[in-house]
C-alpha cells in the first residue's frame, strides 16, 4: 500500500492505494472545493475536465476500463453515465465495450430539462449540484432494451462512499423499467469505497483503474466557503440547439460529426474545449485533429466551484451558456498559451458570455467557436 497525506486549509486528507498498472501520480492531484459539504477534490489527470489532457490519454482510459468488464455476461445492457463530469468518460467506455453485449444502450444523467419523458431523478448529496435527471429514450427499440436488459453498467470518474451509486440504483430499479436486471457493474477511474455494495440480493461488481481508501480530519477552526448557487436544473429558455445523439435521450451508437469543416494544422498547439455536459462530440473532434498531427489538449467548462491552488493552477469564471443563470468555470488553461482554441457548444453562438471569449483571446489569438446544430 502507498500512503499519502495532504494538508488543506479546512483539514487533512489522508489516503492510501494499491499500486498496480496505475499510480496516484498517474491519475489525480488534490484541490480544495468551494463547497461546505466536502472540502477536497480528487482532480483527474486523464478525464479531460479540470486538467487539459491529450485525447490519446483519454481514449486509453476508455479502453482500460472497458477491458475490465467481464466477457461472460449474456443479454442486453444499459450503460448509465453520470453528469456532468463523467458524461464523456461513459460515452467512451460504452463505445469500447458495447459489442460485448447482444444489445446495449447508453443513457447519461443531466442537469438540463429536456422535452422528453422523465425516467427517474436521484441525488448526489455531497455535490455542488445534487440533482440529477435521467430521461427515457425516445426510440421504442431503446425502451425495449431497458425492459429486456439483464446488466446495468454505471460509470463515474470516482466512487468515494458509494452513496451516489446507491441513490442511482434505487431510483433506476424503482421505475417501471429495468425489471430484469441480474447484474450491476460499477466502472470508475478511482474507487475509494472498500465496502461491498448490493441491492435486493444483487451483488454489485466494481472495477477501477485504482483502488484505495481515504480519511478526512477537519480543521474545526477553518471557515467554510460560500458556494455559488449552481444546483440548477431549470432554465428560462431551453437554448440547446444541438441534436441529442450522444447520451441524454439514449444512444446505441454515435458518429464523429462535429466540425467537419475544421482543417488540421500539423504541429500547431490546439486546445479543444467542451462545454458542461457537451463532451463526447468535442472529444471526437479533438481526437481526430490529434490523429491528423495537431498537438491537442482537451478540457471543458464546468459548474464545479474549485479553489485555486494545488491542482488548480489557474481559473476563469463566466456566465453559463445554457440560460440557467449560474457561474461556469474552466481550470488550468489561463496560465498557458495555444496557437488555436476551438470552443465547442451545443447552444447558439450568441449564448456565449462575451467575457469568456475575451478571456480566451488572452490565451490564444485564434479562437474559433464551433456550434453543433
Give the tens place of pLDDT for each residue, 294-303: 999 999 999 9
Q: Which three cell numbers stand for residue 246?
A: 450522444
- How far are the Cα atoms of 165, 219, 249 from residue 156, in angstroms, in the given order? 9, 29, 18
Q: Are 244 and 58 in contact (CB under 8 A)?
A: no
* Cis previous bond, 132, omega within 30: no
Q: Which residues contact 99 (CB under 8 A, 6 or more apart)?
A: none
Contact yes or no for 353/327 (Cβ under 8 A) = no
The three-point CA angle 264-253-110 to 5° equals 90
In a domain, 178, yes or no: no
Cell of 284: 471526437
**Rounded to an integer, what distance in angstroms lies between the CA atom of residue 6 and that of residue 192?**
16
What predicted TM-score, i.e. pTM, was given to this entire model? 0.94
In a domain, 274, yes or no: yes
Going by their DSSP bridges, the two strands 118-123 and 131-135 should be labelled as antiparallel
> Cα separation of 287 and 291, whole Å?
6
pLDDT at 48 over 90: yes
pLDDT at 233 over 90: no
Distance, C-alpha 176 to centroid of its chain: 27
Helix, strand, coil content of the chain in percent (nearest 5): 20, 35, 45
Judge contact between 314 and 335, C-beta under 8 A.
Answer: yes
**Residue whose C-alpha cell reads 474559433 in the numeric block:** 368
Average pLDDT estimate for 228-257: 83
Instruction: Identify the H or E element spanning 300.
Output: strand 295-300
Quote the mean pLDDT of the chain: 92
Give residue 352's domain range: 269-371
pLDDT for residue 309: 94
CATH assignment at residue 276: 3.40.50.2020
SS3 of residue 99 by DSSP: helix
Q: Name, in order, each residue with C-beta under 8 angstroms of 25's C-beta and a sequence gap of 6 or more.
A: none
Whole-number pLDDT of residue 355: 97
pLDDT at 126 over 80: no
Q: How many domains does the chain have?
A: 1
Q: Using alpha carbons only, what angle is made at residue 122 by residues 118 and 123, rounded to the nearest 5 degrees?
A: 145
> Which pLDDT does position 334 carry in this prediction?
98
Please check the confidence at residue 229 and state whether its pLDDT lies above 80: no
Question: Among 329, 341, 312, which Cα is nearest to 45's?
Answer: 312
Q: Is the pLDDT of residue 75 over 80?
A: yes
Is 281 inside any structural domain?
yes
Judge whether 309 lies within some domain: yes
- Cis amide prior to 345 (ω within 30 degrees): no
The answer to whether 367 and 258 are in contact (CB under 8 A) is no
Domain assignment present for residue 345? The answer is yes
The full 3-state SS of 14-46, as one line of letters, equals EEEECCCCCCHHHHEEEEEECCCCCCEEEEECC
Whether 334 maps to a domain, the answer reads yes
350 occurs within a structural domain: yes
> In Å, what is the CA distance from 291 to each residue of 85, 131, 255, 266, 294?
24, 37, 16, 9, 7
Assess if residue 74 is contained within a domain: no
Mode of pairing for the β-strands spanning 11-17 and 2-8:
antiparallel
37 C-beta neighbours (distance < 10 Å), count: 12
| Alpha carbon distance 133, 131 (integer Å) | 7
Q: Say if CB 365 and CB 260 are below 8 A apart.
A: no
pLDDT digits (tens, 9 = 90+) for 95-108: 999 999 999 999 99
With CA atoms as reference, report the closest residue to 76 among 215, 177, 217, 187: 177
Amino acid at each position: 500500500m502507498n500512503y499519502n497525506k495532504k494538508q488543506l486549509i479546512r483539514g487533512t486528507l489522508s489516503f492510501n492505494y494499491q499500486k498496480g498498472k496505475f499510480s496516484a501520480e498517474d491519475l489525480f492531484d488534490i484541490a480544495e472545493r468551494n463547497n461546505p459539504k466536502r472540502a477536497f477534490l480528487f482532480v483527474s489527470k486523464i478525464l479531460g475536465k479540470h486538467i487539459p489532457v491529450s485525447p490519446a490519454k483519454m481514449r486509453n482510459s476508455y479502453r482500460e476500463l472497458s477491458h475490465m468488464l467481464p466477457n461472460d455476461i449474456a443479454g442486453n445492457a444499459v450503460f448509465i453515465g453520470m453528469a456532468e463530469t463523467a458524461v464523456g468518460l461513459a460515452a467512451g467506455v460504452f463505445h469500447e465495450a458495447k459489442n460485448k453485449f447482444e444489445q446495449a444502450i447508453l443513457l447519461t444523467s443531466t442537469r438540463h430539462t429536456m422535452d422528453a419523458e422523465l425516467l427517474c431523478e436521484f441525488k448526489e448529496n455531497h455535490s455542488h449540484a445534487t440533482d440529477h435527471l435521467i430521461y427515457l429514450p425516445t426510440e421504442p427499440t431503446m425502451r425495449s432494451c431497458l425492459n429486456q436488459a439483464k446488466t446495468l453498467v454505471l460509470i463515474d470518474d470516482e466512487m468515494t462512499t458509494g452513496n451516489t451509486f446507491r441513490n442511482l440504483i434505487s431510483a433506476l430499479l424503482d421505475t417501471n423499467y429495468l425489471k430484469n436486471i441480474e447484474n450491476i457493474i460499477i466502472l470508475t477511474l478511482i474507487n475509494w469505497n472498500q465496502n461491498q455494495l448490493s441491492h435486493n440480493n444483487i451483488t454489485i461488481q466494481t472495477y477501477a483503474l485504482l483502488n484505495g481508501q481515504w480519511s478526512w480530519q477537519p480543521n474545526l477552526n477553518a471557515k467554510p466557503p460560500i458556494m455559488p448557487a449552481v444546483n440548477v436544473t431549470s432554465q428560462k429558455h431551453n437554448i440547446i440547439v444541438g441534436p441529442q445523439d450522444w447520451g441524454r435521450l439514449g444512444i446505441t451508437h454515435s458518429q464523429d460529426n462535429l466540425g467537419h469543416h475544421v482543417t488540421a494544422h500539423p504541429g500547431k498547439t490546439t486546445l479543444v474545449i467542451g462545454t458542461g455536459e457537451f463532451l463526447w462530440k468535442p472529444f471526437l473532434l479533438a481526437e481526430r485533429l490529434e490523429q491528423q498531427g495537431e498537438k491537442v489538449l482537451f478540457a471543458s467548462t464546468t459548474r464545479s466551484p474549485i479553489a485555486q491552488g494545488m491542482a488548480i493552477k489557474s481559473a476563469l469564471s463566466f456566465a453559463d451558456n445554457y440560460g440557467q443563470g449560474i457561474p461556469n468555470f474552466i481550470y488550468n488553461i489561463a496560465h498557458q498559451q495555444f496557437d488555436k482554441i476551438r470552443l465547442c457548444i451545443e447552444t447558439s453562438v450568441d449564448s456565449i458570455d462575451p467575457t469568456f471569449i475575451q478571456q480566451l483571446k488572452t490565451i490564444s489569438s485564434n479562437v474559433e467557436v464551433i456550434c453543433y446544430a
